[in-house]
Amino acid sequence: MSELLWDDVKDVFDLECEGRLPDVWVAGTVAEDWQAVLDLIGESGWHSEYSEGGVVMPVPRAEAMLSRHADAECP
């Protein structure tokens, strides 16, 4: 989907409009791919915050998040 442009989707990621980030599904990815994204966010100094039950905490490893049971509480 190389024709997808940021201007076409940026409103979906606007926290002021949406209130939260959308769930993202990317076919063919594995935990290591998502860990690379999390590492990039941390290393780039971009503002980010992770919380569960309203408690801010360190971002867990992607493998831990992705291995949660489908019925697990969504933090």
pTM value surpassing 0.75? no
Quickly list H helices, the chain.
6-9, 15-18, 31-44, 62-66
Residue 1 in domain: no
**Integer Cα distance of 26 and 32 in angstroms:** 13
Domain count, the chain: 1
In this predicted model, what pLDDT tens digit does every residue of 9-34 receive, in sequence order? 888 777 777 667 777 788 999 999 99
Residue 49 in domain: yes
> Residue 30: which domain range?
6-66
**Any idea which of 22-26, 40-44, 51-55, 70-74 has the lowest mean pLDDT?**
70-74
pLDDT band at residue 4, thresholds of 50, 70 and 90? confident
- Provide, rounded to the nearest whole percent, the portion of the chain with pLDDT above 90: 28
